[in-house]
A and B are shown apart, each in its own frame.
Chain A
Amino acid sequence: DAGVIQSPRHEVTEMGQEVTLRCKPISGHNSLFWYRQTMMRGLELLIYFNNNVPIDDSGMPEDRFSAKMPNASFSTLKIQPSEPRDSAVYFCASSLSRPVASSESLGFGADTQYFGPGTRLTVL
Chain B
Amino acid sequence: AQKVTQAQTEISVVEKEDVTLDCVYETRDTTYYLFWYKQPPSGELVFLIRRNSFDEQNEISGRYSWNFQKSTSSFNFTITASQVVDSAVYFCALMTTDSWGKLQFGAGTQVVVTP
How close is A20's CB to chain B, nearest CB, in angstroms?
Answer: 20
When each residue 92-103 of chain B gets 1 if its CB lies under 8 Å from chain A and 0 otherwise, what string results?
000111001111
List the B side residues contacting A31 at CB < 8 Å. Answer: 101
Q: Is the CB–CB distance between A108 and B101 below 8 Å?
A: no
Q: Which of A33, A100, A110, A118 has the most CB of B within 10 A?
A: A110
Tell which of B43, B44, B45, B103 touches A45, judged by Cβ atoms closer than 8 Å. B103
A106 to B101 alpha-carbon distance, docked (Å)? 15
Q: Is the CB–CB distance between A103 and B97 below 8 Å?
A: yes
A108 to B95 alpha-carbon distance, docked (Å)? 11
Does B12 sit at the interface, judged by CB under 8 A?
no
Q: Which residue of A lies closest to B32 (CB)?
A: A110
Does A71 sit at the interface, judged by CB under 8 A?
no
Chain B interfacial positions (CB closer than 8 Å to A): 31-33, 35, 37, 42-47, 50, 52, 54, 91, 95-97, 100-103, 105-108
